Amino acid sequence: MLLGLLSSFDTFIFFVVALVIAITVHEFSHAWVATLMGDPTARLSGRLTLNPLSHLDPLGTIMLFLAGFGWGRPVPYNPNFVRSGKLGETVIALSGPLSNIVAAFIFALPARIYFIQTGVPAPETNLMRFLAIVVTINVLLAAFNLIPIPPLDGSKLLYLLMDKLSFGRVSWAAFERVGPMVLLALIFAERLFNINIIFRILEPVIFVINWVIGSGSPFL
């Protein structure tokens, strides 16, 4: 999915910069909201910063180029310090994808404004191509992390619902153990069966996010 963006050297550079921006915004938002929710763990760990070096995971970054998926360094938090219990943890988790949606909205504004004023798509300049890639990466990162499978952020919302419905902790603990394996199976299904299950799952989410940020055919 992401590998399709790497069609030329300049596109590759745009992709790398966009990826750094998206991961940094995502992880910083986790740290910032956790701090607001009363947990100092992220701040004391040096994660309350927009310095990309504090948030990039070397292996996760390499996997993005080799396999088309990857990850940043998870922001640590202590649930004992988080206000509002499970709800607070869910707010912290969802702050990451939400921050990517906000970033996509901001970076989509130039092309959106141009389209509104002229009625035609923005010209394919290097700047507009870069902005388009930044928007695309942020949208994909937000959508991917909203999948309700551990360890992705969306799983916290599922956990909150299970907690409200009085499901046992044992069930969730088992799901946390198998979640990463389920996620990997979905990711590699395309290679094994030529079926892009992940994209099929994300397609409606991506559509909604693009609608929310006002992006569409003129841009992505």
Q: Give me the active site residues, please.
A: 27
Query: Whole-model pTM above 0.85?
Result: yes
pLDDT tens per residue across all 220 residues of the chain: 455 555 577 888 898 899 999 999 999 999 999 999 999 999 999 999 999 999 988 877 776 666 556 678 999 999 999 999 889 999 999 999 999 999 999 999 999 999 999 989 889 899 999 999 999 999 999 999 999 999 899 999 888 877 666 555 556 777 788 888 888 888 777 777 777 788 888 899 999 999 989 865 434 4
Q: 87: Cβ–Cβ under 8 A, 6 or more apart, which residues?
A: 160
DSSP reduced 3-state for 151: coil
Comparing C-alpha atoms, which of 139, 140, 162 is closest to residue 150? Answer: 162
Burial class for 172, CB neighbours closer than 10 Å (0-12, 13-18, 19+): middle
Q: 69: Cβ–Cβ under 8 A, 6 or more apart, which residues?
A: 2, 63, 144, 187
Helix, strand, coil shares, percent, the chain, to 5: 70, 0, 30
